[in-house]
Structure 1
Amino acid sequence: MKTKQIIQPVTDLFHSPYGARDRQMIYGDLITVEAEENGWAQILSVKDGYQGYLPSIALGAQTKATHRISAASSHIYVQPDFKSRDLCSLSFGSRVQVLTYGDRFCETPNGFIPTPHLKPADTIDADPVALAELFLGTPYLWGGNSRFGIDCSGLVQAALLACGIPCPGDTGPQESTVGHTLPPDSAYQRGDLLFWKGHVAFVYDPETIIHANAHDMAVALEPLQAAIDRIQAQGDGPVTAHKRLA
């Protein structure tokens, strides 16, 4: 198997060629190619073990990522000048190779990225909820993993991976592997995770959650108890787990 990387800002990861989208991958994500045929690659995601198919055109040779996008999103410019033409947009978490580091712009093989939008690739953030806040207002997208569209498990994964916490891509594996389960009626604390069947949210503060949800069709803050009541009333059941990160 050969290791490659995603070279498009965002690409869908499909259950099968021309099938349904399961998740997405973003620029700089590493994958191993298990098979390739008729313009499709069967791949394994290095960051979380997710398997699926994506168009071969989304793949390129692996390069050494030195930095990652730390803003909600950023642009790659033709010149180190904010008035120059932008080439594409990159989402939070995209991994890039910086060739020349400058006070205002960093040069990459594809153009120039504003320096304030970058952190060294090995930087470990401390507060996943603060990272989730970067996505406030991002439109909800089933299977989405970027600032351009994201779902509940994609939001949690993006925030936790940036904090150095391993995290699968879907809510079921997240519930079974991330953090430790608290007893019923435990106090809510910032950074806790609340799980429902098929849904997950961060506790923002003891009275509020932050989550990507189809009710708002966006990443939004919502009163915690009101969300619990609303989700149960709409037929999606009670909270199945209250978990705390180590």
Structure 2
Amino acid sequence: MTGAATRAVLAGVLSTVLAAASVTADPAHLSASPAPRSAYVAVSVATVWTTPQSPRPVDRRALTNPVDIRGWLSDMTLDQQEALTGDNLNQTQALFGDRVLVVREQGDWDEVVVPGQPTPKDSQGYPGWIPKAQLTIDVSYGALKDHAPFAVADRGVTTWLYRDSALSHRDLEISTNTRLPVLTRTDKAVQVFAPDRGLEWLDAETVSVYEKPTDIPHPTGVDLVRYAATFVGIPYVWGGVSGFGIDCSGLTAAAYQVHGITLPRDAGPQAADRRGRPIDKSALQPGDLLFYSHGGKDPVNPDDMYHVAMYSGNGEMIEAFDKSAPVRITPVRLDEDYWGARRYL
């Protein structure tokens, strides 16, 4: 953006903020309105819990601001990681700057839906609870998010926000697929507006900048595989959607979403999505999704669909299988649980 364009965007933000001045930013105000109100994720990754009572003592690093996802994962034993799945403790995650809709509050928690993650559980987005400390009501950021060009982190599983255009002072590590509104750029850096942090900078080599979401180029299957392969070696975590830790459908959803295609969040709804065309196992191409079910081949039962992977070519697939291994490239399994493949391009 030129300097004049930056000033125009900021002027528009000021107008929006003034128009919203009658709306208090006090989180307690949220419960006074029957309509969901926007808030924004203010940590690198916010875990969306099933209830405010779901977190265990070992989950404390995932509840703070700043958050420590790597520390959280390293604190857990394999049995404690397994309990995330078996006890249905967490639902999904949301990335820094993502909008959530606050439905109601309970003490230090907000009940939310995540609009960017389609699910049959709620027509507005994926439901659950996030600690208030990890959310912000930042109307300046919200106005920019809706109207400014944006940068999407799409090279490498994580990148950094910097305090300066020389990229010498790191501020916050953020995940791939994070999107932030852009104000201006130099040859080596992109200036963005970050929730609760104001002006920050990103390394231009780690992001792509678009005027609007529809400007994202339509991917090829090879594009999807190349992106998914960057996660190889990243830890598995149930409900994960980030470069710090991810699950099977989080991986496939992220690979498509970073390329401008939003799939449902979970494996069963991904398989049932009408945009997906059935593909015979003899005709697989890179980028196709492979599904595994405990309940037979047809029809799709989301409760039976337990796994999804991406075909990468040469009889192999990329998958985040379970807690026993990080994201890996492995031979395609055409076993009794193989349900079928879908192509979305």
Say whether the fold is shared (TM-score over 0.5). Answer: yes
- Structure 1, residues 50-72: CA drift from partner, whole Å, max 9, x if none? 11111122222224232211222
**Does 1:105 pair with 2:174?**
no
Query: Aligned AA for 1:117?
Result: T
Larger helix percent: 2
RMSD: 1.9
**Does 1:149 pair with 2:149?**
no
Equivalent positions of 1:30-109 (< 5 A) are 30-48=99-117, 49-60=125-136, 61=138, 62-65=142-145, 66-72=150-156, 73-82=158-167, 84-108=168-192, 109=198
Secondary structure in 1 matching 2:283: coil
How far apart, in 2, do the equivalents of 1:18 and 1:217 lie?
A: 28
Q: 1:30 to 1:69 in 2, by over 3 A?
A: same
Deviation at 1:215, TM superposition (A): 7.0
- Unaligned runs of at least 5 residues, structure 2: 1-35, 55-88, 118-124, 193-197, 294-305
Q: 1:182 to 1:223 in 2, by over 3 A?
A: same
CA contact (8 A) 1:189 1:206 kept: no
Deviation at 1:87, TM superposition (A): 1.3
- Structure 1, residues 85-124: CA drift from partner, whole Å, max 9, x if none? 3111111111112222111112232422111112125224
Q: Aligned residue for 2:233?
A: 137
Count of paired positions: 235
How far apart, in 1, do the equivalents of 2:44 and 2:199 lie?
A: 12
- Misfit runs of 4+, over 4 Å: none
How far apart, in 2, do the equivalents of 1:76 and 1:181 lie?
A: 41
Q: Aligned residue for 1:119?
A: 208
Query: Aligned AA for 1:244?
Result: R
Q: Aligned residue for 2:307?
A: 199
Larger strand percent: 1
Query: Aligned AA for 1:241?
Result: G
How far apart, in 2, do the equivalents of 1:206 and 1:17 lie?
A: 45
Which residue of 45, 51, 55 maps to 1:16? Answer: 51
Equivalent positions of 1:217-236 (< 5 A) are 217-224=325-332, 227-228=333-334, 232=335
- Structure 1, residues 162-216: CA drift from partner, whole Å, max 9, x if none? 2222211111111111512234x43221111110131110000041101112276
Query: Aligned AA for 1:211?
Result: E
